[in-house]
Structure 1
Amino acid sequence: MSRIRFRSATPVVILAVVLAGCSGEGTEGDGPVPDLGAIPRVRSSADISDLPMDGYILGKEQYGTYLKAQRSLIRRCMSRFGFDFRAMDAVLDAGEVPDLRPDMTRYYFLIDADAAATSGYRAPERHRPVEEGDGTGEDTTPTAAERAVLVGSNAGKQVDGEQVPEGGCRGEANRETLGEGGTDSFLQLPNDRVALRARTDADERVKKVFGEWSACMEKAGYDYDDPMQANDDDKWDASKPAGQAEIQVAKADVACKQKVNVVGVWWAVQAAYEKQYIEKNAERMAEVKRTVDAVLRNSGRLVGGGA
């Protein structure tokens, strides 16, 4: 069982061949430090509320429904040009759709006392990532000719007696799933959140509570500057089950997080940055919300109707 080693939870945006072309404005590193709202008291991952951007980001099941609708529409379109499109099958048929929202049991590193006491810093077992292909050993990556029709680089030209639509088959599918005028820029938001998380981790209020946590850990006999150092300590052998030394550190880590409310402050600072981002990009975010609502409405109808 492996342990989690990361600085922030970067969502895996899969099926780049289909979703390539989504882009966003990104986040700006400058700007005023946002004021905090209420700081929740967090003793376990169950105490963590949704972050402000969650209302604009598809959940795992919603994302899966969207991808299934895209697959059906793209496959139908590609078949008109004589292509059997199966590039999305391996991930969708295996149920390996990632969650674009963070897993709050580990987003702020180890939080739950029970997990610390039983498995230290080890992450729960994850499904093996699906490799390129359709699971049968056959490579289903689109050929150059297929990709041209898929993304519309030859839009307007005739292929197999059919005219390639604007934006290719991906564009045609988007027009049905995203609604009139909708774009797939909403898929950029998880990446924008990563940038906001980096600003959060560098915020002086987070650093201050890390210092309080570090002092608490020192009293328990452990020398770490921040929770990430404890999580990533090279003494923890990821090839073996957690030993008693690791478990004792993990338990102290969680206890100190609870004592000084590390996760409550961490969450509140990130929520403030996300709220600021939403307000600063109000026009774009309103369009994202309209698109997400259209995606949920249209994808459910298309998948339910066997598009």
Structure 2
Amino acid sequence: MATARAGLRTGKHLMRRLVTPALAVFALVGCVAQEPQGDAGDRSGASSAKESAAGNYTHRLPIAAYSYTDDEYASIEAAENVLAGACMARYSLSFDPPRPAPAKPGPDRRYGLSDEKSASLFGYRPDPMASTRRPAQLGKDVRTVLLGKQAVGATGQLEYRGKKVPDDGCLGRAKHDLGKDYAYPEGSETASRISSQSYRDAMLRPEVRTVFKKWSDCMKKSGYTYTSPSEPFDSPAFREGPVSAQEKATAQADVACKRSTGLLDVWFTAESAVQKTMIAKHAGALRKLQALHRQKVAAAKKILSQG
């Protein structure tokens, strides 16, 4: 379990974006809308040296072709806000959503640490500023109508000045109205399952086990005893309290050993092969999911073009 934990955690952004926003596994709670990370075009072909150095492994995996890109996700979110604003106007309330900040994804961590600078600054912790998003400041009335029962803990019919309010508020209604014709839970679940299962299956491949051993031997030469790159994440000292010099040194050795052994590229190549096999077995469902994604994005852009 320890070995699988890091990859399932660090690949979370891809898994979140593989499903529709309303069904997102890792939605950010407390903000008016969700925040995407990374790009998800069809990047299953050969990677350039520049991409490999950047460590953008998660979003170059074959399954990433069945998620939304940042731009697509932003269009969907903006369209939902337009619909929510129209709903709010029916209650004589205005909704001015905050302009989304440019995405600042942190270093890719699907296979553990991959960035030397991040390791030297934060050890095994994520950059605390990489995914920070300030919650929108909403007045009580706006919050009640926008978010519905979840905002006030209501149990019965929610009303505002004599008008019934949707249980999930104007924003929830907007998400439902935009997405109802494009929901495909079976396809979304298939894509998410491939993303998680391929990670586990790849670790069983001989080439990955071999490179793990090389990485472990490299770490031992630096004075650290680990059998897999996920083990350091399980250290309580590397999860709690301030980042220590020991944690930073361990993290830097970790990244250096990954580079010298080629672990990241070997693991990525192995998982890509696993995913291609899995995708071929579910080609019909994934093609349908991809088509519905495109249709939803087109619908969102149409809403935006109409203001």
Check whether TM > 0.5: yes
Counterpart in the other structure of 1:125: 128
Cα distance per residue 1:155-212 (max 9 Å; x no partner): xxxxxxxxxxxxx76554336xxxxx63354655663354235424642433342222
CA contact (8 A) 1:39 1:268 kept: no
Could you tell me how far apart the structure 1 residues matched to 2:300 and 2:78 are? 8
**Higher mean Cα deviation, 227-236 or 139-148?**
139-148
Return the offset for 1:125. Answer: 2.2
Two-structure CA RMSD over aligned residues (Å): 4.2
Could you tell me how far apart the structure 2 residues matched to 1:150 and 1:226 are? 46
Could you tell me how far apart the structure 1 residues matched to 2:24 and 2:48 are? 38
Return the offset for 1:148. Answer: 5.2
Amino acid at match of 2:179: N
Could you tell me how far apart the structure 2 residues matched to 1:190 and 1:104 are? 23
Q: TM-score, normalised by structure 1?
A: 0.64
**Higher mean Cα deviation, 60-69 or 120-129?**
120-129
Counterpart in the other structure of 1:255: 256
Aligned to 2:60, the other structure's residue is in SS state coil
Counterpart in the other structure of 2:98: 93
Identity %: 21
Could you tell me how far apart the structure 2 residues matched to 1:233 and 1:20 are? 32
Counterpart in the other structure of 1:213: 215
Return the offset for 1:232. Answer: 3.7
Aligned to 2:230, the other structure's residue is in SS state helix
Counterpart in the other structure of 2:119: 116
Pick one of 148, 153, 161 that aligns with 1:142. 148
Check 1:39–1:73 CA distance in 2 against 1; reply closer, same or farther (3 A cut).
Answer: closer
CA contact (8 A) 1:63 1:97 kept: no
Check 1:85–1:262 CA distance in 2 against 1; reply closer, same or farther (3 A cut).
Answer: farther
Could you say which structure has the greater relative contact order, defined with CA pairs below 8 angstroms and 6 or more residues apart?
A: 1
**Higher mean Cα deviation, 66-75 or 196-205?**
196-205
Could you tell me how far apart the structure 2 residues matched to 1:71 and 1:189 are? 29
Amino acid at match of 2:267: W
Check 1:147–1:188 CA distance in 2 against 1; reply closer, same or farther (3 A cut).
Answer: farther
Higher helix share: 2
Note if 1:44 corresponds to 2:45.
no
Note if 1:300 corresponds to 2:301.
yes
**Number of residues of Structure 1 aligned to a counterpart in Structure 2:** 256
Amino acid at match of 1:229: E
Return the offset for 1:224. Answer: 0.9
Counterpart in the other structure of 1:105: 108
Return the offset for 1:263. Answer: 0.9
Return the offset for 1:63. Answer: 1.0
Q: TM-score, normalised by structure 2?
A: 0.64
Aligned to 1:93, the other structure's residue is in SS state coil
Return the offset for 1:270. Answer: 2.0
Runs of 5+ unmatched residues, structure 1: 23-36, 152-167, 176-180
Aligned to 2:236, the other structure's residue is in SS state coil
